[in-house]
Structures are given as structure tokens and as C-alpha cells.
Structure 1
């Protein structure tokens, strides 16, 4: 490990750095999707190979563009994935989080280098040291090592996540095998991807919603079954595809008639999920995700105590994404600040007990930037 390349990286070719950033931007979403798939189907050899290739390509691009910092960060990740590919270790959710954290820090670091900003707040030395240790750790200690890495870099120890893994927390889908549930989730994710494909503005939307919802739920000790919540994230807007595109893809102000048409979409998705064994909780979340604590939501006009927790989470992250989209032309950081301010200003629209943990997730995101 070249410590100098971490604490005081030097960029000699700005054009090459820009080319690397462009390549990284193309590969990062693919890595995130592959890791999300591995969480559901950890034995999928095709996904494992795809993930390894993407990481290997980032390392190769970094070497070609002479971005030594990137090579230093990615090399131990490649080693971890090689061990996983060779069945030497298991790829857990905690290890996945550590890899995604490293990817996030790499993106932030190269963007900071390009703009001349300081890297001090990114804790890159802690990150690389943690990744090096993880790449050499014994199989039985990998999760604990990954937890230590995350804590060193972010200041937060994923205690509830680790406890759930170590205790083997059971899913509420008792009537389905894990493989059947994973097959269902893949199908739901495919539908979500089809929805995203209807507009370039939706690119990456599903995974952004999933991350926000899962992290918010994690802060609350997974009060909502994570697998049911994941299904609800994928399916909550699928009903849109049963409506005229001229309505749900419209960017101008909607008429009252168009708003009435749009209100039908939760029923379609709820209808699909409720007919599939084991996904009743996800169906309830989808059906209620436009309800409001004051009873002014739709389709049933439920009030606070009648709305399930999963729907409350979904309502917040969905609204946050919508506001982000509205302000997308104002710059990414400013959009986050505007979106969180708007969400917090809507006192009657969202459940206050879930706004607080959501704020913590956004605060961590901003601090990481």
C-alpha cells in the first residue's frame, strides 16, 4: 500500500482523470445492481462473474488513466471478490455494504480531485487499511472486520445489521423457501426496471429508493420485514404501467381528471402482490403508500394508526425522490437540501416517527459528500 497516494494523491493528467470518472460512472450502477442481486441469490455464478469483471475493469481503467488512488482502493476489493468467486468466503450483507461504501468513497474522491476539493473528510486511509485487512481476514471473521471498516470510515457501527446476520434473523415469508422468495424478488425487480425504462429521468430510481428505505428501516432496528419492504419498493408504482403514459409521464401540471386517473395505480400493484402467496405485507405497504396521517391521503383515507410502518417509509422515500427529480437541474447537493427541507415542512403528510430516522440517513449522506 502506497500511503502517499492516499493521503496526498497527485493527478498529472486531468483529461485522463475525467475519462476515468466517466468510466466509473458507467460501471458503478452495474456494480450496485449486481450486489443487490447477490443479496437475494448469493450463489448466482453469472452475477458473481459480472461483479468481479466490473471491479477488475475499474482497476484496469484506473491504472491506464494513472489514477493511483483508485487502484489502491479497488485492489483489495478485487481480492475479496476473487476469494468469494473461489468459494473461500461467503458474501454477506455486511461485506456488500463495505464494498458499496468503498465504491461511494472512490466516486467522491475522484470528483474531489477533479474539482480541487480536500479529501480529508473521506477517511480514505482508514478505508484502504480496512479493505486491506478485510481482503486477508479469515472467513469466520469477515463480517466483524467489515463492521469495523464501516465504523472507522463513517463513525457508525452497523450493530443491528450485524446482529441480524449473526443471529440468523428469520424472514416473515414462512411459507416460501428462500429460493422461491428470491425468484419472486427478481421478478419484481424486473418489473421495476421496465418502469424505469419508460423515462430517462427514472434511471437508477429503484435502487435509490431501496437504499433510503432499507437504511431508514435499519435505524429503527428493522421494524419492517426487509424482504417485504424490498418487494414493496419494487412494486409500489408498477400500477402506473396500466395507466395512460400521457398521464403518469406528464411533467406539466395535471388536471383534476388526470389526478383521479393516477390515484388508481396503488390498487393495481396491490392486486398483483396480494394474489402471490407470502407477499401480503408488501401488498399492504403498496396499497397504503399514498395514505397520510391526517386522513387526507388515498385510496382509503386511512389515518396514522391505521397505516402500516412499511407504507410510512415508502411514502417518505417516494416523496423525497419526487422532489429530487423536480429540482434535478439545480445541482445534486442543493437538490438534496431542498428535498429534505420540503419533506420536513410537510407536517401532515408523513409519519413523524419515521421522519427522524430518515433525516439521519440523509444527514449521513450529506456528511459523506
Structure 2
């Protein structure tokens, strides 16, 4: 029988934090098992371990009175139990669902711990599909998983045309400046091995999204903003911008200064006023919680909304990179769609279109 969702609330703050700590321990184990099962093996012991992790999470949720989590974990646990009993075969799509639902639960817990108003509307809307998934036949399972993953990736849209070479959109008297900006971006990228290829990935994604906009932005201005948006980080201590974990108040104050330095440089160079505004505002959020000026909604220029998405997408896919290219894209775009307070919804829809097209192209050529 399907379990009914409860309103997200913190009944016992200490127990709630205990549950968060437990989930933070379980999540890497779950990710590792899903990644290992992604090699096409039928390892029954790994499936059994996944089941035990979900069973433990559900038990801890009950014990710690975090009851609103239980229905979602229960549905996944039921699905894994059927796979464990050989009623269904494990497949990559099941792993996608496990990771994406777990990610969304973790994000909801984080929001609540940070004092934000909990929004479980997406999870609630998915629960009937999760319950049906747990009861699906072997023939129904792949399509049911695909539909649920698509829901978590945001609104569907028709595929976009394949983008032309980036260089085709750039040129004119601004070319020399753009070459200079790119050289600075390359210097920053080379400081961190994990950033290899980051600049070109960001530029390609930004131009693909911009090409779909009803009123596209200047490609030169977008390119300049992509190249320059993090250059101010070079003026901060390297220990700060490579720091893992939560930043202190002083750390955040220093970090908030970096868009102004790069934006100020662009503003002093004739012809780059639009790019300067994009860079200055790219850490602002739709709900006003960003920096440096706490702008919100329509106060933030379109270019900054675009740049914020591109920057965030690179960060979240890098975070999930160990799961493989396809899965890191899936988890990245699902995570951004769940952050509706931060990103402009219209630009988010365009990102969804680009990502869907990329995934379709990857499937067509046989990639994972």
C-alpha cells in the first residue's frame, strides 16, 4: 500500500541533524554502488546493499521523526526489493531514479536546515509515479523510469538545431579584446587541474542557450562575460577559492568582492559595458539572496541570469563527474531545476532544451 506524504517539518532539531548526518554517510555509498552497477553487471550482492541502504534511511527517518522522507524511500525500497527478488532486472535507468530522488531529498533537508521555507512540491508530484514504478512490470519499467527522470529534469521542449562552431559568431573589431580575455581565462583555468576545458565548455553552453532565446544577447558580450566572470578570483587567496566546506562570514565577504573586480575591469574598456553588467551580477539570485547587491527578479540583467546558470551547471556536473558524463548531466540539470529560488525560469527552460538535445545526441551515438 502506498504511503502518504507528510508536511516537511523539523519535530526534533537534534534528531533532524542526526538524520542529515546519517544521510550524508549513506549517500556516497549509494552513489558508489550505482556507479559500479552501471557497468552492466548483474551483481546481486550490490543490489542487496542498495536495498539495505534504503531500508536504513527509511528506518532512521522514522526513528528521527523525519516522517516526510519515508514515502519516497519506501517506494524506492519496494522497487529494489523486487529487483533483489529477481522479479525485475536492475538497469541504468533505475540508478538514475535512485540518485535523482536522493539528491532532491538531500536538497530539501539542506534548505530546512538553513532556515528556508521547505518546498516539497516536486517530490509530492513525483510520488504517484514512484509508487507506480515500484509496481511496474518488467516491460513497463524502462519507460516509467525515463518519464520520471524527465520530470525531474524540468519541462520538456523540442530539440534545438545543432550549434555551429563558436568561432563563427565572434569577430569584428572586438576580436583582439576577446583574445586577451580568453588568455586571462586560460591562466585561471590552468591553476586548477579539475577546471581543464572549463572555459570552452562554458562558452559553448552559453552560446547554445543564447541562440534559443527570443531576443538573443550579443555573442561577443556573452563570450567576454564567460571569459572574465571568475578572473577576480585570482585576486583572492588561493586557499579561499579552493576551500572545501562551509565558508565563514569573512570568507563570504571576500568572495563577494570578486565579481566587482572583473566587472570593473570590463567597464573601463570601451564597448564592454554589457559584459561588465553580466559579470557584476552573475552571483545575484532571483529571490534576492545573492551578492554583491542583493538584486532580485527583473533587477538582474538577462546576461547575468544566463551566466549564473552556465556557471552553476559546470559546478554541479563537476561535482557528479565520477558518475560518468550522462549521469552527471542528468543530476546536474535536475539539481538546478530544483533551485527555482535562484535561477530565472525562462533561461532555465532554455538550458533544459539544450541538455535534452545533448542527451538525445549522446543516446543516438551510443554513449552512456
User: Could you state the TM-score of these two structures normalised by the residue count of structure 2?
Assistant: 0.52
SS in 2 for 1:298: coil
The separation in 2 between residues aligned to 1:305 and 1:366, in whole angstroms, is 31
1:339 correspondence with 2:365? no
User: What is the CA distance between 1:251 and its match in structure 2?
Assistant: 3.0
The separation in 2 between residues aligned to 1:157 and 1:197, in whole angstroms, is 32
User: What is the CA distance between 1:221 and its match in structure 2?
Assistant: 4.4
Asked if the contact 2:159–2:353 (Cα under 8 Å) also holds between the matched residues in 1, the reply is no
The separation in 1 between residues aligned to 2:160 and 2:351, in whole angstroms, is 15
Given the alignment, which residue of 239, 247, 261 partners 2:240? 247
**Compared with structure 1, are the counterparts of its residues 316 and 336 closer, same or farther at alpha carbon in structure 2 (3 Å cutoff)?**
same
1:367 paired residue number: 360
Asked if the contact 2:285–2:296 (Cα under 8 Å) also holds between the matched residues in 1, the reply is yes
2:203 paired residue number: 210
User: What is the CA distance between 1:294 and its match in structure 2?
Assistant: 1.2
The separation in 2 between residues aligned to 1:155 and 1:346, in whole angstroms, is 23
Asked if the contact 2:159–2:356 (Cα under 8 Å) also holds between the matched residues in 1, the reply is no
SS in 2 for 1:349: coil
The separation in 2 between residues aligned to 1:232 and 1:273, in whole angstroms, is 9
Asked if the contact 2:230–2:258 (Cα under 8 Å) also holds between the matched residues in 1, the reply is yes
The separation in 1 between residues aligned to 2:159 and 2:312, in whole angstroms, is 28
User: What is the CA distance between 1:229 and its match in structure 2?
Assistant: 0.5
1:277 paired residue number: 270
1:231 paired residue number: 224
**Compared with structure 1, are the counterparts of its residues 247 and 157 closer, same or farther at alpha carbon in structure 2 (3 Å cutoff)?**
closer
1:286 paired residue number: 279
SS in 1 for 2:286: coil
The separation in 2 between residues aligned to 1:241 and 1:220, in whole angstroms, is 32
1:195 correspondence with 2:188? yes
Judging by fraction of residues, say which structure has more helix: 1
Worse-matched range after superposition: 305-314 or 324-333: 324-333
**Compared with structure 1, are the counterparts of its residues 219 and 187 closer, same or farther at alpha carbon in structure 2 (3 Å cutoff)?**
same
Given the alignment, which residue of 170, 176, 179 partners 1:183? 176
The separation in 2 between residues aligned to 1:317 and 1:237, in whole angstroms, is 12
User: What is the CA distance between 1:258 and its match in structure 2?
Assistant: 1.4
1:319 correspondence with 2:312? yes
2:71 paired residue number: none
Given the alignment, which residue of 286, 298, 302 partners 1:305? 298
**Compared with structure 1, are the counterparts of its residues 245 and 155 closer, same or farther at alpha carbon in structure 2 (3 Å cutoff)?**
closer
1:180-232 superposed Cα distances (whole Å, 9 cap, x missing partner): 31000000000000000110000000111111110101011452111100000
**Compared with structure 1, are the counterparts of its residues 319 and 155 closer, same or farther at alpha carbon in structure 2 (3 Å cutoff)?**
closer
Gaps of 5+ in 1: 1-153, 172-177
1:329 paired residue number: 322
Moved over 6 A (4+): none
Q: Which has the higher contact order (CA 8 A, sep 6+)?
A: 2
Correspondences of 1:48-127 after superposition (within 5 Å): none
User: What is the CA distance between 1:256 and its match in structure 2?
Assistant: 2.8
1:348 paired residue number: 341
User: What is the CA distance between 1:158 and its match in structure 2?
Assistant: 6.2
Gaps of 5+ in 2: 1-157, 363-368
The separation in 2 between residues aligned to 1:155 and 1:299, in whole angstroms, is 36
User: What is the CA distance between 1:324 and its match in structure 2?
Assistant: 1.1
User: What is the CA distance between 1:257 and its match in structure 2?
Assistant: 2.0
User: What is the CA distance between 1:250 and its match in structure 2?
Assistant: 1.8
- Aligned length, in residue pairs: 203
2:90 paired residue number: none
User: What is the CA distance between 1:293 and its match in structure 2?
Assistant: 1.3
User: What is the CA distance between 1:295 and its match in structure 2?
Assistant: 1.1
1:47-100 superposed Cα distances (whole Å, 9 cap, x missing partner): xxxxxxxxxxxxxxxxxxxxxxxxxxxxxxxxxxxxxxxxxxxxxxxxxxxxxx
SS in 2 for 1:224: coil
SS in 1 for 2:232: helix
The separation in 2 between residues aligned to 1:264 and 1:216, in whole angstroms, is 27
